[in-house]
Structure formats: C-alpha cells, structure tokens
Amino acid sequence: MSHDARDGDGAVPHLTPEEFRKLGHKMVDWIADYWSRLESFPVRSQVAPGAVASKLPAHPPEEGLSGEHAWDAVFKDIEDIVLPGVTHWQSPSFFAYFPANASGPAVLGELLSAGLGVQGMLWSTSPAATEIETRVLDWLAELTGLPEAYRSTSATGGGVIQGTASEATLVAMVAARERVRRQGAPADSQWVAYASSQAHSSVLKAAMLCGVARGADDTVHVRQLETDARYALRPDVLERAIREDLAAGRRPFFVCASLGTTSSGAFDPVGALGDVLERTGVKAAGGWLHVDAAWAGAALVCPEHRGLLDGVEAVDSFSFNPHKWLLTNFDCNAFYTRDKRALLDALSVTPEYLRNAASASGAVIDYRDWQVPLGRRFRALKLWFVLRHYGARGLRAHVRGHIRMAEHFESWVSNDARFEVAAPRSLSLVCFRLKPQPGEKPEATDARNRALLDRVNASGKLFLTHTVLPAVDGQPPRYVLRMAIGGTYTEERHVRAAWEALSAAAA
C-alpha cells in the first residue's frame, strides 16, 4: 500500500528500513555517548516525586510523527525528561543493592532479539530460540561447576532462562508441591515452606502466589528461621522446625537455601540442609531443596568459589541472575533443575491451538512448560553474545577484579578507627558502619550511620544502600551500610573515591 493511499484514514507510514537505519545508528550513538559520560551524572536521580510525570502531556498524541526531523523531539525528551529521572545503575560509582550489569555484547543481543521479534513459547515457534537457549545454559552450567545432572544432556535435568530469581523460586515451589502431592500428599495439606530470616522476600511472595501462605504475615506456612552468627540458616533450627510441623500434621515440602543473601551475602550450608531433608524423611516424601544464588552465583565461574556448591548433589533446583553480576542486562535468570518432569507436571497445560507435530514427537523442548507465562523473548541471544565476547577467562577476570576491590575497601574500613566491618565480607559485598562511641545508645549509632548514608548519597558522587543486620552475639540489630561492588565499568579508582567520600563525610 502506498503512503498516499493511507493518508486518507490517518495511517502513518512505518519507518522505512532506511529511516530505521538512520535512527538506529543515532540511538546506538546516543547509548555509546551515554556510557562515556556516565561519570558526569549524579548517581542517584535527584528529582522529586511527580517531577518526571509533570513534563509529560496529560493525553496521548493524536497525531503521529512526521517529517524528516520528527524524531529530534524524541531525542530531546530523552535528555530533558528521561535522564534527570534516571538513577545511573551503570555508573561506575553505583554501589547500591546489587549491581545490574549491562554490557555492549548484551545490549547488541537485546537489540537483535527485539529486531527479530520472535516469541519463542514453543520449539516450533522458533527452533533457534529454544536450541540456543539450551546450549548456552549447558555452557553456563559447565562454567559454574554445576553437576552434570542439571544439563540438558542428562536424563532428567536441564536449564531455562526465567525472567527473575523471584520467578525461579515460584516455579520451584509449585514444582515441589506438585511432586509431593503426586507422591501421596493430599492437595489440601497444610503445606510448609522454609527459609532463613535473611532469605529474599521472593520466597514469601512465591508462597503467597501459590496459595501456601495465607498472607504476608503467615508464619505457620512460611517459616523464616533464625540464623547463626554469620547470618546463615542453621541446620539444627531447620530440623527442629520440620519435626515440629510433622508432629503437628503439617506437610514440609520446600526449603530455600540462600547462597549469598541480599542483606549481607551470607551463605547457607547447602549440604547440611540437604542432610536434614534426608534425615526427617521430607526428601523421601518428594520434598524439594531450592538454592537461590541470585547474586553470588556469578562468582562460581571462578573455581576458587566452588566450595559454595558443597552438597549440591542434594539440591533439586538452582538459580542465579546473570543480570546481576555477569554482564547480561536485565532480565536474565538462569534456572536449573535435576527434575524437569516435576516442573512439567506442575506447569504444562496444552490447549488445542498449541498442538503441533514437533511437540507431540517428544523430541523438542517447549520452554513455555518451564515457566509461568506462555510467551517468551529470545533472551538467550544476549547471554550467548556475552559468553562469546568475554569467554570464561574474561568472566573470571570480571568477578575477581571486583572481589579484589572489595578486599581493599574492607581493609580501608578496618584500618580506620571510626569504622568497623559489620559482617564477614562476602565476595564483593562489604557491610560496614560507623562504630558506636563510648556509652552511645544503639539508636544513636544507627542514626549517625543513617545520616552518613544520606549525606554521601545526596552528594551524587556515589550511591550505596543500607540493611539492618539481626541481633547476634548479644548485640542488638544494627543499621549498616552496604558497599556492593560489581559495576561493569567500576575500577579501583572509583572504589577509592567512594571510600574518600565516605571518610570525609564521616569527619
């Protein structure tokens, strides 16, 4: 149809390939320039609530864009409306939460995925989307030292890309419940899931979503257990809780072990937790051990951290986020299970309109059956490009560099009499605080630390966040600052500058 023919009904021509090429080049240039000026922005956005919205028209545009320079206005809005309201997660001085790495290869993969516009719900809806995902996840399992039982080449295991660690936990939980039910537990059992008090809130949320928990305050069906002096789940506490629940006729079915808690990076003893499931008979009844290694899993590319996997033989599913510390932009969670059957039993529903010969043959994977949504993007491309660009050696150097910086930061903190390291350093995460002054009340120490955090974040020079560590060793709960090092572009000098800013602000 010619443009003229459509003018009458208001149809706006699509971008021609030539127009798209020009604008696309301009957008890539914009991103490249953005990355080179990252250090010039205040790291945390400084706008007030509503400031961004106030710059947007109240109503959607009636007329589309037209004319050769029409998109100039869009690029201007990126600068004037978007940028001020952006917290610069890719800034080398972003040390808040956990990192959310983006990288050139990943963004190129994301662009290609959008350009192909594939919806890969079934193998047959784009064989490449499925088969590249399967192979790349097998590579990642090999790179992180996961056992053969998690690979697609094993009899019953395999990996899949989920959107997030939260979805991975939800999927693991519904698979667990279905497995226990199929082994004879009544569907209306009093299901109980376990994690430490330091586990991510997504465990509770998953239990709420699948009806195990009757609300966010249901402590009967989701037990958030007390931790040890290093904030790790205690096997004896887990065992006692499970035995109590069994004695009360409830049905323990799911344990989430954290490798690298969000708060302080604590590592639960996976092997010992697996032993508890075995000893209490929960494993024999079909009970499930899931490992949430959302952030720390990336470190497993380095053989020196593989000790964290001790006991992984007892684990039913394992997930981590390449979108945190492995150079792959959000969203990309690598989820592995040794029991894909349980996943399919819980998640597979086949309406007539999705039936096809390839699926019926049983020779292909349909990843829709491994996740909550039906549709799925071609996310394997970005992970594939990252693995090809950096190679295993490059990924190890990425992780090791950040851990080295964290070791330096830790030593600066411990050598300054005003400060203390508040929890054992975990990989590239350091929890620290201003020490209590003689006779100071705990609330006053907390208040001084909160004020320090507010001061440095307001400066725009860096951004970090806090946590509250639970009471331990007779100490009350403590408000502490978290230095989470791991930005794609973070170098030693940025960490040094952050320490100098903190030190000056504490004076």
Ligand X SMILES: *Cc1c(COP(=O)(O)O)cnc(C)c1O
How far is Cα 90 from Cα 42, in angstroms, rounded to an integer? 12
Rank residues 180 and 294 by Cβ distance to ligand X and give the closer one. 294
Count Cβ neighbours within 10 Å for each residue of 367-406 and write b for 16 or more, e otherwise. bbbbbeeeebbbbbbbbbbbbebbeeeebbebbbbbbebb
- Please identify, among the stretches 175-183, 255-263, 350-358, 360-368, the one whose residues bind ligand X according to the rule CB under 6 A: 255-263
How far is Cα 197 from Cα 204, in angstroms, rounded to an integer? 11
Asked if residue 262 binds ligand X (CB under 6 A), the reply is yes
Among 90, 93, 130, 166, binds ligand X (CB under 6 A): 166
How far is Cα 506 from Cα 498, in angstroms, rounded to an integer? 12
Asked if residues 371 and 347 have their Cβ atoms less than 8 Å apart, the reply is yes
Restricting to residues 89-118, name those near ligand X by CB under 6 A.
98
How far is Cα 148 from Cα 215, in angstroms, rounded to an integer? 38
User: How far apart are CB 440 and ligand X at their closest, in Å?
Assistant: 32
105-111-112 Cα angle (round to 5): 90
Rank residues 203 and 242 by Cβ distance to ligand X and give the closer one. 203
How far is Cα 272 from Cα 283, in angstroms, rounded to an integer? 13
Asked if residue 130 binds ligand X (CB under 6 A), the reply is no
The candidate with the shortest Cα–Cα distance to 469, out of 268, 265, 234, is 265
CA distances from 241 to 252, 286, 300, 362, 498 (A): 9, 18, 31, 41, 43
Torsion angle, CA of 67/68/70/75, rounded to 10 degrees? 180
Asked if residue 268 binds ligand X (CB under 6 A), the reply is no
* Residue appearing with tokens 């794609």: 488
DSSP 328-343: --SS-EEEEES-HHHH
At 391, the amino acid letter reads G
- Please identify, among the stretches 77-85, 123-131, 160-168, 234-242, the one whose residues bind ligand X according to the rule CB under 6 A: 160-168
Among 113, 125, 202, 337, binds ligand X (CB under 6 A): 202
User: How far apart are CB 263 and ligand X at their closest, in Å?
Assistant: 9
Bridge partners (DSSP) of residue 258 are 292
Among 91, 93, 134, 164, binds ligand X (CB under 6 A): 164
- Please identify, among the stretches 33-41, 158-166, 339-347, 469-477, the one whose residues bind ligand X according to the rule CB under 6 A: 158-166
HSE toward the beta carbon, residue 376, CA cutoff 13 A? 31
Among 96, 122, 193, 294, binds ligand X (CB under 6 A): 294
Q: Residue 108 corresponds to which tokens in the numbers above?
A: 């190129």
User: How far apart are CB 187 and ligand X at their closest, in Å?
Assistant: 28
Rank residues 101 and 261 by Cβ distance to ligand X and give the closer one. 261
- Please identify, among the stretches 1-9, 222-230, 292-300, 447-455, the one whose residues bind ligand X according to the rule CB under 6 A: 292-300
- Please identify, among the stretches 67-75, 164-172, 226-234, 399-407, the one whose residues bind ligand X according to the rule CB under 6 A: 164-172
Q: Residue 290 corresponds to which tokens in the numbers above?
A: 């899931």
- Please identify, among the stretches 49-57, 162-170, 244-252, 367-375, the one whose residues bind ligand X according to the rule CB under 6 A: 162-170
Neighbours of 91 (CB within 10 A): 24
* Residue appearing with tokens 């945190």: 324
Rank residues 136 and 294 by Cβ distance to ligand X and give the closer one. 294
Among 152, 258, 337, 359, binds ligand X (CB under 6 A): 258
- Please identify, among the stretches 147-155, 256-264, 434-442, 476-484, the one whose residues bind ligand X according to the rule CB under 6 A: 256-264
Rank residues 452 and 484 by Cβ distance to ligand X and give the closer one. 484
Asked if residue 301 binds ligand X (CB under 6 A), the reply is no
Restricting to residues 302-321, name those near ligand X by CB under 6 A.
321
User: How far apart are CB 238 and ligand X at their closest, in Å?
Assistant: 18
The candidate with the shortest Cα–Cα distance to 174, out of 202, 149, 216, 209, is 209
Asked if residue 329 binds ligand X (CB under 6 A), the reply is no
Restricting to residues 351-410, name those near ligand X by CB under 6 A.
none
3-state class (DSSP) for residue 484: strand
Rank residues 41 and 194 by Cβ distance to ligand X and give the closer one. 194
3-state class (DSSP) for residue 1: coil
User: How far apart are CB 332 and ligand X at their closest, in Å?
Assistant: 9
How far is Cα 316 from Cα 329, in angstroms, rounded to an integer? 27
- Please identify, among the stretches 82-90, 161-169, 339-347, 435-443, the one whose residues bind ligand X according to the rule CB under 6 A: 161-169
The candidate with the shortest Cα–Cα distance to 89, out of 464, 476, 492, is 464
Among 267, 288, 295, 336, binds ligand X (CB under 6 A): 295
User: How far apart are CB 133 and ligand X at their closest, in Å?
Assistant: 17
Number of residues that bind ligand X (CB under 6 A): 15
> Which parts of this chain interact with ligand X (CB under 6 A)?
98, 164-166, 200, 202, 258, 260-262, 292, 294-295, 321, 333
